[in-house]
Amino acid sequence: AQSVTQLDSQVPVFEEAPVELRCNYSSSVSVYLFWYVQYPNQGLQLLLKYLSGSTLVKGINGFEAEFNKSQTSFHLRKPSDHISDTAEYFCAVSDRGSQGNLIFGKGTKLSVKP
């Protein structure tokens, strides 16, 4: 069975500092990988996704993630944060041959302070 582990439940950083949100997954088959962001009192929206090809994926708002198959990781990074990045971030995995559902991690709350 697939699973997703987000190693940090909360990550506090200062504005303009770099940040990395960690995500590890467990799957015996090829996968699609996603990062979603949820701003306060809003729904989830897609930040970026890995389907195939280049392992470095760029998303909205300056975020990027790198797929590492050997380490089964898909860590999210941003070189310089803004206060507006304060939100909860969810990593998700889907089996390429699955019925269509995503397995979500428990989320990481990023708090960017001035």
Report the interface residues with other proteins, using CB under 8 A.
32, 34, 36, 42-46, 49, 51, 90, 94, 98-102, 104, 106-107
Least distance (Å) from other proteins to the CB of residue 18?
26
Query: Is the Cβ of residue 19 or residue 92 nearer to other proteins in the bound state?
Result: 92
Least distance (Å) from other proteins to the CB of residue 44?
4
- Let me know: does 101 contact 47? Beta carbons within 8 Å: no
**Burial status of residue 38 (CB atoms within 10 A of its CB: 0-12, 13-18, 19 or more):** middle
Query: Is the Cβ of residue 15 or residue 102 nearer to other proteins in the bound state?
Result: 102
Query: Is the Cβ of residue 15 or residue 38 nearer to other proteins in the bound state?
Result: 38
Indicate the length of the chain as a whole number. Answer: 114
CA distances to 15, 20, 52, 60 from 96, in Å: 37, 26, 11, 24
- Give the H or E element holding residue 12: strand 10-14
Query: Is the Cβ of residue 38 or residue 72 nearer to other proteins in the bound state?
Result: 38
Least distance (Å) from other proteins to the CB of residue 17?
26
Least distance (Å) from other proteins to the CB of residue 68?
20
Phi, psi of 94 (to 5 degrees): -135, 135
